[in-house]
């Protein structure tokens, strides 16, 4: 292919850069806009070394003990979906964030913003689901708060949960610990939560058996801790923004590149079909019951065996590896041998027709 | 303008005078407008669906036949293929599909 | 998924790549005029696998990218109107208008909703009789039957609060415009498989004959694209210039007649501006007189809005295949998917966005360009 030299021309492209002066939905998507929001609007005022690590949870020392604290707010709509509701999601999500730092979750708190007019029976189902999820994980909900806002101000119900856990010195996965030569493992099929939600969206809705995979990953993390301990370099639950966002964040924090094998990605048939229909890429679809683990390649078989010994991890597989090449870039090798970059999306992934 | 995927027509019904159907896409189902294929399709047939409309019936026979030919084409080893090309250009024939 | 997954067969695809590479005695220049095909080509990394045998130029096949600035601005006005629920396919939401995009209008309080099908938009109108529902009817000929049906049904069912903002374009005039340009480098085309599913391929026969270019009607999966490229390369090597059909499982020569019939009842050919290219006569669809009621431009008094695009914008050169995206001075720096300067950087298969993902990796490696 002949290289065509183009003399540098003064830029005359007239379409203006779009500067945004307010919050958009994309800022909540887990992609580049979310990262920018954090970097430009929050960190400059609130920054400190603990926060700057930007892990799933913060690690602090209290009276000589290392504690992990994580907080998350849940705004999912619809409030109830196949496989769970905002309550179970809120408990699982925060338990998982604490667990991803290697901590054993001990306590949870919950804050509720209730919209005027929310039916009590719906609220009951949400709270009962929270209780069931917390109890199954053995983590009590020890304090909380409730507020009510006027009709129209809260989409039914918003929940914030905060989790506190105890860290073990011998088990410290962190987003900056991925190393060249690590295997990238995923604990189960991807894309279920996001597509289960999409199936219920007005204007998009379709019928499927897809259920959210929302689950507490604590038992899986525990198995990894017992079998590999310190050699678990990094754990992440790929929630909003999907696998692609999680892997990009880790690549940036650890300053490494990653290579994924498309053929190895565990996409269930119905999730794949729903993605085809809407033109979505499963790599960007949210998961709530899956974790990504980074362990030295030589220990991958042991890690996989560990994960597979629990129902939540029975279809765990290796999907790629960490490389020293192209730091900060996550690259996918397609089944036919081509390559493409898997980048962070600016905002939400949108259904397309093209 | 292209995102059209094949789905299997599961059932057909009338919605206020418009021919509609339930179409299954690998386990996911949606209501699809079948008006443009009226009289040409029945449950069990496959159709290409774009933005909720069936725009063509999948010709399963053609698909099978051409895919087999394609599979063969992609498997002939280098020597066979080179010989084939040489023979074809000598005979001045057209390509594999006219 | 049946009739989809087998066309992603890695073995068949690799075999076809080998075939194409061995068959081509020199690098041929092909163009696909379809965003979906561009998407596959980029997603599968086919460009690098075909390097040396085939150069693919991404044509103006992305209706999102070619929607003229003034139609986007009209959409933004409508979306900001408190009477309106503005509905659209997802593709359009981040396309920059003169001042902002639909997502920002939503942030400022406009009601903007993504729908999967124009019938979903009509349904919204039925369910919200107190609001005006406008649907952004963008697309090539593939989508025209769906949009036509939405208008037809609205009239049949007496849904008075539904209207569409039309920005339809048709492929053959664009192809002809490209081929008649003096600096045209394209030697063969992959024609859009779903456009031809609806329209058939008769319109392409005079083009192939007049400009002596092979045109292969092609599908969207990697095996389809590679087979289409294979067929085009064979024609070029053999000195033929015909219309051939690769996408036999979906396309017939006459297309889907009932769809074409309804489209011609509801729409008519009009002159259309293509963003970055300029006006191409008789290259668009507009609502016929008797459906003027459903035209959002009339209903909301927007017909007078005219926005001039600068003739200096590089997006036009990219869309015509004269400039590779990375040759544009703004590429990757002032212009990225996060803050796009033009439409080809916004749409996920716009040439610039495609290169931003695919191309950055290639430039990062010590390889030839």
Summarised one tens digit per residue, pLDDT across range A39-71 is 888 888 987 888 877 777 888 999 999 999 999
Asked if A328 and A255 count as a contact pair (C-beta separation under 8 A), the reply is yes
CATH of the domain at C240: 3.40.50.11750
**pLDDT at res. A348:** 77
The H-or-E segment that residue A92 falls in is: helix A86-100
Cα–Cα dist A348/A25, whole Å? 8
| ipTM of this complex prediction, to 2 decimal places | 0.90
* Dihedral over Cα of A265, A266, A271, A273: its sign: positive
Residue carrying structure tokens 């030299």: A5
Cα–Cα dist A208/A65, whole Å? 47
Residues of A in contact with C324 (CB under 8 A): 4
Residues of C in contact with B37 (CB under 8 A): 256, 258
Asked if A314 and A245 count as a contact pair (C-beta separation under 8 A), the reply is no
Is the minimum CB–CB distance between C198 and chain B shorter than 8 Å? yes
- Domain assignment present for C305: no
- Indicate if C80 and C150 belong to the same structural domain: yes
CB contact under 8 A, B28 and A273: yes
β-pairing, B18-25 vs B4-15, is: antiparallel
- Domain assignment present for C118: yes
Give partners of B (≥3 CB pairs < 8 A). Answer: A, C
Cα–Cα dist C284/C304, whole Å? 18
Cα–Cα dist C130/C112, whole Å? 16
Mind listing the pLDDT tens digit for each residue in B44-78?
Answer: 999 999 999 999 999 999 999 888 888 888 876 55
Architecture of domain B4-58: Roll (2.30)
**Which of B2, B38, B60 is the closest to C35 by Cβ?**
B2
Residues of chain B with a CB closer than 8 angstroms to some CB in chain A:
1-3, 5, 22, 25-30, 49-51
CB contact under 8 A, B51 and C146: yes
β-pairing, C162-169 vs B53-57, is: unpaired
The H-or-E segment that residue C134 falls in is: strand C132-139
Query: The domain A54-166: what is its CATH number?
Result: 3.30.1330.10
* Best A27, A206, A265, A354 residue to mutate vs chain C (most C CBs within 10 Å): A354
**Mean pLDDT of the A4-29 span:** 49
Asked if A59 and A167 count as a contact pair (C-beta separation under 8 A), the reply is yes
- Indicate if C334 and C262 belong to the same structural domain: no
- Indicate if C217 and C188 belong to the same structural domain: yes
The H-or-E segment that residue B90 falls in is: helix B78-91
Mind listing the pLDDT tens digit for each residue in A58-116?
Answer: 889 999 999 999 999 998 888 999 999 999 999 999 999 999 999 999 999 999 999 99
- Indicate if C260 and C153 belong to the same structural domain: yes
**Mean pLDDT of the A131-140 span:** 96
Residues of A in contact with C315 (CB under 8 A): 13, 15
CB contact under 8 A, C222 and A278: no
> Which of A122, A111, A93 lies closest to A149, judged by CA?
A111
* Domain, as residue range, for C204: 5-63+179-245
CB contact under 8 A, B67 and C234: no
The residue length of chain C stands at 369
Task: Sort C334 into a burial class: Cβ within 10 Å, 0-12 / 13-18 / 19+.
Answer: middle
Chain A residue with Cα closest to C195: A354
- Indicate if C147 and C241 belong to the same structural domain: no
**pLDDT at res. A183:** 98
How many other C-beta atoms lie within 10 A of the C-beta of residue A28?
16
**Mean pLDDT of the A272-299 span:** 95
Cα–Cα dist A242/A283, whole Å? 6
CA distances from B35 to B18, B38, B53 (A): 6, 5, 8
Is the minimum CB–CB distance between C51 and chain A shorter than 8 Å? yes
- Domain assignment present for C131: yes
Distance from CA of A338 to the nearest CA of C (A): 4
- Indicate if C43 and C108 belong to the same structural domain: no
Q: What is the pLDDT along chain C (369 residues), one digit of tens a residue?
A: 899 989 999 999 999 999 999 999 999 999 998 888 988 888 888 888 998 899 998 888 888 778 888 899 999 999 999 999 999 998 888 888 888 889 889 888 899 999 999 999 999 999 999 999 999 999 999 999 999 999 999 999 999 999 999 999 999 999 998 899 888 899 999 999 999 999 999 999 999 999 999 999 999 999 999 999 999 999 999 999 999 999 999 999 999 999 999 999 999 999 998 876 778 999 999 999 999 999 999 999 998 888 876 554 577 677 666 777 878 887 877 777 766 766 677 766 677 777 776 656 555 543 333
**Which of A14, A341, A350 is the closest to C310 by Cβ?**
A14
Number of structural domains, chain C? 3
Asked if C172 and C201 count as a contact pair (C-beta separation under 8 A), the reply is no
Quick one: tokens of B69?
């030919």
Quick one: tokens of C81?
């109107």
Q: Which of C205, C222, C245 is the last residue of a domain?
A: C245
pTM for the model stands at 0.86
Residues of A in contact with B48 (CB under 8 A): none
Mind listing the pLDDT tens digit for each residue in A171-218?
Answer: 999 999 999 999 999 999 999 999 999 888 877 788 888 999 999 999
CATH of the domain at C266: 3.40.50.11740
Cα–Cα dist C301/C292, whole Å? 12
Q: Which of C199, C227, C245 is the last residue of a domain?
A: C245
**pLDDT at res. A207:** 86
Is the minimum CB–CB distance between C167 and chain B shorter than 8 Å? no
**pLDDT at res. C292:** 96
Quick one: tokens of C294?
């459903």
Asked if A114 and A154 count as a contact pair (C-beta separation under 8 A), the reply is yes
* Residue ranges of chain B that CATH labels 2.30.30.140: 4-58
> Which of C115, C68, C63, C70 lies closest to C88, judged by CA?
C115
CB contact under 8 A, C329 and A8: yes
CB contact under 8 A, B6 and C4: yes
- Indicate if C146 and C262 belong to the same structural domain: yes
**pLDDT at res. C313:** 58
Q: Which of C221, C245, C269 is the last residue of a domain?
A: C245
Helix (H, G, I), strand (E, B) or coil at C214: coil
The H-or-E segment that residue C304 falls in is: none
CB contact under 8 A, C142 and B94: no
Per-domain boundaries in chain A: 54-166, 182-341
Say whether pLDDT at A237 is over 60.
Answer: yes
**Which of A14, A203, A354 is the closest to C313 by Cβ?**
A14
CB contact under 8 A, C44 and A340: yes
CATH number for A182-341: choose from 3.40.1440.10, 3.90.650.10, 3.40.50.410, 2.60.40.10.
3.90.650.10
């Amino acid at each position: 292919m002949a290289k065509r030299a183009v003399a540098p021309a003064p830029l005359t492209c007239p379409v203006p850069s779009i500067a945004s002066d307010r919050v958009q939905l994309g800022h909540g998507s887990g992609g580049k806009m979310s990262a920018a929001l954090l970097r430009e609007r929050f960190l400059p005022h609130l920054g400190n070394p603990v926060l700057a690590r930007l892990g799933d949870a913060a690690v602090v020392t209290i009276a000589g003990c290392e504690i992990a604290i994580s907080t998350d707010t849940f705004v999912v709509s619809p409030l109830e979906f196949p496989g769970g509701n905002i309550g179970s999601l809120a408990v699982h999500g925060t338990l998982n964030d604490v667990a991803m730092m290697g901590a054993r979750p001990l306590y949870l708190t919950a804050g509720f913003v209730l919209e005027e007019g929310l039916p009590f029976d719906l609220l009951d189902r949400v709270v009962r689901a929270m209780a069931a999820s917390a109890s199954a994980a053995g983590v009590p909900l020890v304090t909380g708060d409730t507020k009510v806002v006027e009709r129209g101000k809260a989409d039914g119900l918003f929940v914030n949960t905060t989790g506190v856990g105890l860290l073990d010195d011998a088990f410290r996965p962190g987003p900056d610990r991925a190393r060249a030569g690590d295997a990238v493992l995923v604990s189960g099929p991807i894309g279920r939560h996001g597509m289960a939600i999409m199936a219920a969206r007005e204007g998009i809705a379709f019928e499927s058996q897809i259920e959210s995979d929302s689950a507490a990953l604590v038992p899986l993390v525990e198995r990894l801790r017992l079998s590999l301990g310190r050699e678990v370099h990094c754990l992440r639950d790929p929630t909003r923004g999907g696998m692609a966002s999680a892997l990009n964040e880790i690549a940036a924090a650890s300053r490494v590149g990653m290579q994924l094998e498309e053929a190895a990605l565990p996409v269930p048939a119905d999730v794949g079909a729903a993605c085809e229909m809407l033109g979505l890429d499963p790599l960007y679809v949210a998961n709530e019951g899956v974790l990504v683990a980074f362990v030295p390649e030589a220990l991958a078989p042991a890690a996989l065996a560990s994960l597979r010994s629990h129902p939540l991890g029975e279809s765990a597989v290796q999907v790629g590896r960490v490389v020293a090449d192209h730091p900060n870039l996550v690259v996918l090798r397609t089944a036919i041998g081509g390559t493409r970059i898997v980048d962070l999306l600016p905002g939400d992934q949108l259904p397309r027709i093209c | 303008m292209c995102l059209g995927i094949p789905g299997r027509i599961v059932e057909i019904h009338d919605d206020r005078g418009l021919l509609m159907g339930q179409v299954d896409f690998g386990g996911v189902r949606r209501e699809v407008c079948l008006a443009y294929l009226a009289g040409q399709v029945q449950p069990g047939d496959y159709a290409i669906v774009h933005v909720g409309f069936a725009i063509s019936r999948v010709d399963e026979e053609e698909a099978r036949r051409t895919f087999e030919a394609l599979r063969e084409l992609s498997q002939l080893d280098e020597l066979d293929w080179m010989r084939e090309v040489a023979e074809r250009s000598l005979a001045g024939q057209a390509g594999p599909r006219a | 998924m049946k009739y989809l997954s087998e066309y992603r067969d890695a073995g068949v695809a690799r075999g076809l790549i080998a075939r194409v590479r061995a068959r081509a005695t020199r690098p041929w220049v092909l163009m696909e005029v379809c965003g979906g095909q561009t998407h596959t080509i980029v997603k599968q990394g086919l460009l690098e696998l075909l390097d040396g045998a085939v150069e693919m130029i991404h044509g103006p096949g992305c209706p999102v990218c070619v929607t003229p600035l003034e139609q986007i601005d009209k959409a933004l006005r409508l979306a900001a109107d408190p009477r309106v629920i503005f509905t659209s396919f997802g593709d359009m939401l981040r396309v920059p208008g003169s001042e902002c995009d639909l997502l920002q209008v939503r942030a400022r309080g406009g009601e903007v909703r993504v729908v999967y099908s124009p019938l979903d938009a009509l349904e919204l109108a039925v369910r919200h009789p107190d609001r005006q529902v406008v649907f952004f009817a963008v697309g090539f000929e593939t989508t025209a039957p769906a949009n036509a049906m939405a208008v037809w049904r609205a009239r049949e069912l007496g849904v008075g609060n539904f209207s569409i903002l039309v920005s339809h374009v048709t492929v053959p005039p664009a192809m002809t415009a490209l081929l008649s340009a003096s600096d045209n480098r394209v030697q063969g085309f992959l024609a859009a498989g779903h456009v031809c599913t609806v329209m058939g391929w008769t319109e392409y026969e005079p083009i192939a004959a007049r400009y002596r270019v092979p045109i292969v009607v092609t599908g969207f999966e990697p095996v389809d694209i590679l087979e289409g490229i294979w067929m085009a390369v064979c024609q070029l090597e053999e000195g033929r210039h015909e219309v051939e059909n690769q996408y036999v499982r979906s396309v017939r020569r006459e297309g889907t007649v009932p769809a074409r019939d309804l489209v011609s009842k509801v729409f008519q050919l009009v002159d259309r501006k293509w963003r970055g290219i300029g006006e191409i006569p008789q290259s668009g669809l507009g609502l016929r007189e008797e459906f003027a009621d459903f035209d959002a431009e009339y209903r909301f008094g927007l017909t007078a809005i005219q926005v001039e695009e600068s003739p200096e914008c590089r997006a036009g050169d990219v869309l015509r295949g004269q400039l590779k995206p990375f040759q544009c001075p703004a590429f990757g720096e002032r212009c990225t998917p996060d803050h796009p300067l033009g439409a080809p950087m916004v749409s996920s298969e716009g040439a610039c966005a495609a290169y931003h993902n695919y191309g950055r990796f290639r430039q990062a490696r010590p390889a030839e360009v």
